């Protein structure tokens, strides 16, 4: 069995079937994404895994260039109450950490997860990297690593649109870098 087949069996064991293999070189990294973090996002400076607590945009691109394989995992969800989003993100991201750990323990020493949302592992985040309450669990989101998620996932036909109200279905994406 190939390495990829082994990994796919591992993904299936964790319940992940809605994903695609991608080449990290095709991940679109853009300065405008960082500007959106800096101006207009309430998590800027308030989440210890979001800007300014992350590498520069140039360093983000360099990071992705160090990998040859990644999986992009799709999560679709509608929530009646926007307040439920944090709890949903926490649950999904905790589960993804288990997959990242098992991939790592399978021999992929560079395995690194980008959460499908800002790090919501703790209900109250101090917003400063050095004060992170669960540093072993904290991971950045694709957006906080300057990934243009829209342009990136559309290359593989994944759905993603700007949403105008909370009743619409969200299409969120996590990335697992593997090597
Ligand atoms: S693990 Fe907790 S404290 Fe650390 S970045 Fe995530 S939410 Fe913030």
Q: State pTM to two decimals.
A: 0.95
CB 132 less than 6 A from any atom of ligand 1: yes
Q: 121 CB less than 6 Å from ligand 1?
A: yes
Structure confidence at residue 111 (pLDDT): 98
- pLDDT tier at 1, thresholds 50, 70, 90: very low
Distance 152 CA to ligand 1 centre (A): 26
Task: Give pLDDT tens digits for 116-170.
Answer: 999 999 989 999 999 999 999 999 999 999 999 999 999 999 999 999 888 889 9
Atom of ligand 1 nearest to the CA of 48: 5
What are the distances in angstroms from CA 144 to CA 46, 58, 162, 168?
A: 13, 13, 18, 23
Q: Write down the pLDDT at residue 177.
A: 98
Mutate to test the pocket of ligand 1, among 53, 125, 129, 144 (most ligand atoms within 8 A of CB): 125
171 vs 18: CA distance, rounded Å: 12
Distance 132 CA to ligand 1 centre (A): 5
CB of 125 within 6 A of ligand 1: the answer is yes
Which ligand 1 atom lies nearest to the CA of residue 49? 5
pLDDT digits (tens, 9 = 90+) for 87-122: 999 999 999 999 999 999 999 999 999 999 999 999
Q: Is 17 exposed, middle or buried (0-12, 13-18, 19+ CB in 10 A)?
A: exposed
What confidence score (pLDDT) does residue 45 get?
A: 96
* CB burial of residue 77 (10 Å; 0-12, 13-18, 19+): middle
Nearest-CA residue for ligand 1 atom 2 is 122
| pLDDT tens-digit readout, 18-71 | 999 999 999 999 999 999 999 999 999 999 999 999 999 999 999 999 999 999
Looking at residue 82, what is its pLDDT?
81
Count of CB atoms situated within 10 Å of the CB of 143: 22
Report whether residue 137 contacts ligand 1, using a CB cutoff of 6 Å.
yes
Whether the CB of 54 sits within 6 Å of ligand 1: no
């Amino acid at each position: 069995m190939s390495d990829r087949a082994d990994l796919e069996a591992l993904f299936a064991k964790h319940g992940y079937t809605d994903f695609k293999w991608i080449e990290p070189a095709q991940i679109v990294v853009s300065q405008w994404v960082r500007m959106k973090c800096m101006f207009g996002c309430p998590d800027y400076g308030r989440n210890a895994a979001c800007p300014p607590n992350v590498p520069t945009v140039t360093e983000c691109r360099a990071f992705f260039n160090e990998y040859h394989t990644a999986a992009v995992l799709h999560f679709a969800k509608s929530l009646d109450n926007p307040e439920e989003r944090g709890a949903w993100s926490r649950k999904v991201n905790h589960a993804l950490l288990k997959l990242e750990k098992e991939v790592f323990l399978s021999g992929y020493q560079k395995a690194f997860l980008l959460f499908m949302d800002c790090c919501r592992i703790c209900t109250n985040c101090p917003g400063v990297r050095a004060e992170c309450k669960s540093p072993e669990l904290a991971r950045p989101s694709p957006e906080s690593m300057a990934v243009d998620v829209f342009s990136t996932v559309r290359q593989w036909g994944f759905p993603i649109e700007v949403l105008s109200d909370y009743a619409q279905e969200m299409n969120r994406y996590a990335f697992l870098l593997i090597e």
